Structure 1
Amino acid sequence: MDLSLLLTLGVIHSLALISPGPDFAIMVKIATQQLRSTALATAVGISLAILVHTILSLTGVSLLIKSSHFLYLAVQLGGASYLAWMGFGALNSVVRRVSSAEVKTPAAAEHAGQPAPHAHVRPMSRRQGFFAGLYTNLLNPKAMVFFLTLFSALITPEVKADTKMAAALLLLLLSLAWFGFLALVLSKPRVQLGLERFMPAIDGIIGVIFITVAAAIIYGLLG
């Protein structure tokens, strides 16, 4: 087993995990607005999608998809559409929050007291949280390209099967650790209450991230 290769993969993947992107954005959105169990399900969904990307890259399926103009175009269009839909959904929640705040009368606000963290948010089940995380990563063409590039550069034909299996397991565990950590920390009631007044800004930033990534994908297709 090539431990130096695994260490290199672990460091690169860890840096990619903590960088801002759709995975981080959806994790923050759900963890700060939903129940802890839903946030943890989202973390599992993202991590399993990363495992799928890893396996597809190691087996050459991702390379086959990227080599086919039709398949890769379909993946890019589908991924961009999903990310844009998520982005507009986040921006729509900003509009709902602002509209709700505007219609509340001063008297109602005085007697309402501290708002509940989920007052303006539609509750999500664990299943919905899981698939939100799964689809956000799995349908992101940039994630597929990242793993394909990473493994093409580091996993040569000489690398043994046990190292490949260890690499897939390592990336899965690192993903679970990072997104699980975010889920546990950001879903604390005290943290959610503290961030409640910043939710419109958080949703707005998350919406912009999703739409920007979707626009970049479409721009790449047109370029």
Structure 2
Amino acid sequence: MDLSLLLTLAVIHTVALISPGPDFAIMVKIATQQPRGTAIAAAVGISMAILAHTILSLTGVSLLIKSSHTLYLLVQIVGASYLAWMGFGALRAGLAILAKRKASASTNAGTKVDALSADVEGAASIAGGLGGPMSRRQGFLTGLYTNLLNPKALVFFLTLFSALITPSVTTSTKIAAAILLLSLSLAWFGFVAVMLSKARVQLKLQRLTPIIDAIIGVIFMSVALAIYANLLLTV
């Protein structure tokens, strides 16, 4: 087993995990606005998607997708559309909460209970629109799709393993690499889920819900637009 290779993978993957992006953004949204169980489920969903990308890259499936113009084009279109939809939903949710707060303030200025009620009622599901708390299944699927359908994630893992995993690397090292990246992902996103889903943290961030939603909406839509722009330039 190549320990130096595993250490290199661990360092690169850890840096990628803590860097701002769709995965971290969606974890912040869910962890600060949903029950802890849902946040942990989202963390598991993202980690499972990372494991899937790892396996696809190690087995050469990702390279096959990347080398097929039509298939890779389809992956990018679907992924970018999903991210754009998520971003629009988050942005609309933030604006809806602001509208409810303004309506509440105009009818009963100075009543904090009404403002808090507007926050709770205005908390949106990740899919966009207003709704109640997400189930653990919804949290898991949201985390899973956010990473799995992100074309940039596919390219990242394909590039990473193409550069570091040579034909001489043993099967045991590949298996260890998959387990390592999964463990690091679970540890990081699980940590974010637990820390941000604490009641006192959620209460403090309640007022910032529209801002969080708006930032997340911008992040997702920016990534989607970047993918679309790249597609137009390469067509």
TM-score, L = length of structure 2:
0.92
2:143 pairs with 1:133: yes
User: Which has the larger displacement, 116-125 or 136-145?
Assistant: 116-125
2:72 and 2:112 map into 1 onto residues whose CA distance is 55
Q: Tell me what 2:218 maps to.
A: 208
Q: Which residue of 2 aligns with 1:77?
A: 77
1:110 aligns with 2:120: no
More deviation, 103-112/36-45: 103-112
* 1:218 paired to 2:228: yes
Deviations along 1:15-38, one digit per CA (max 9) or x if unpaired, are 000000000010000000000000
* Partners of 1:110 and 1:48 in 2: CA distance: 44
Aligned mates of 2:12, 2:112 — CA distance in 1: 51
- Asked whether the equivalents of residues 108 and 114 of structure 2 are also in contact (C-alpha less than 8 Å), the reply is no
Match of 1:65 in 2: 65
For residues 58-83 of structure 1, the C-alpha deviation after alignment (integer angstroms, 9 at most, x for no partner) is: 00000000000010000000000000
2:27 corresponding residue in structure 1: 27
> 2: distance between equivalents of 1:93 and 1:183?
21
**Per-residue deviation, residues 91-129 of structure 1 (Å, max 9, x unmatched):** 000111011011113536526267266442131000000
2 CA distance for matches of 1:112 and 1:118? 11
Tell me if 1:4 matches 2:14: no
| Distance in 1 of aligned mates of 2:28 and 2:43 | 10
Residue 199 in 1 paired to residue 200 in 2?
Answer: no
Query: What's the offset of the Cα at 1:222?
Result: 0.6
In the TM superposition, residue 179 of structure 1 has moved relative to its aligned partner by: 0.2
Q: Residue 43 of structure 2 aligns with which residue?
A: 43
Deviation at 1:198, TM superposition (A): 1.1
Task: Please give the alpha-carbon distance, in whole angstroms, between the structure 1 residues aligned to 2:154 and 2:206.
Answer: 34
Q: In the alignment, what sits opposite 2:127?
A: none
Give the conservation status (yes or no) of the 8 Å contact 1:32–1:195: yes
The amino acid across from 1:137 in the alignment is N
Task: Note the 1:149-160 alignment, pairs <5 A.
Answer: 149-160=159-170
Q: Tell me if structure 1 keeps the 8 A contact 2:90–2:216.
A: yes
Percent identical pairs in the alignment equals 69
CA distance in 1, matches of 2:180, 2:58: 14
Gaps spanning 5+ residues in structure 1: where? none
Contact 1:34 1:118 in 2 (8 A): no
Larger relative contact order, structure 1 or 2 (CA cutoff 8 Å, min sep 6) = 1
**In the comparison of the two structures, how many residue pairs are matched?**
223
- Which string of whole-angstrom CA distances, capped at 9 and with x for unpartnered residues, describes residues 156-214 of structure 1? 00000000000000000000000000000000010001011111111111000000000
Structure-1 separation of matches of 2:231 and 2:110: 49
- Supply the distance in 2 between the matched residues of 1:185 and 1:90 (Cα, whole angstroms): 22
The CA distance in 2 between the partners of 1:171 and 1:67, in whole Å, is 25
Which of 125, 138, 145 is the equivalent residue of 2:155? 145
Q: Flag the 1:73–1:111 CA change in 2: closer, same or farther, 3 A.
A: closer
Q: TM-score w.r.t. structure 1 length?
A: 0.97
SS of the residue 1:115 aligns to:
helix
Residues 111 and 159 of structure 1, relative CA distance in 2, 3 Å threshold: closer
Structure 2 unaligned spans of 5+: 124-130
Residue 187 of structure 1 aligns with which residue?
A: 197
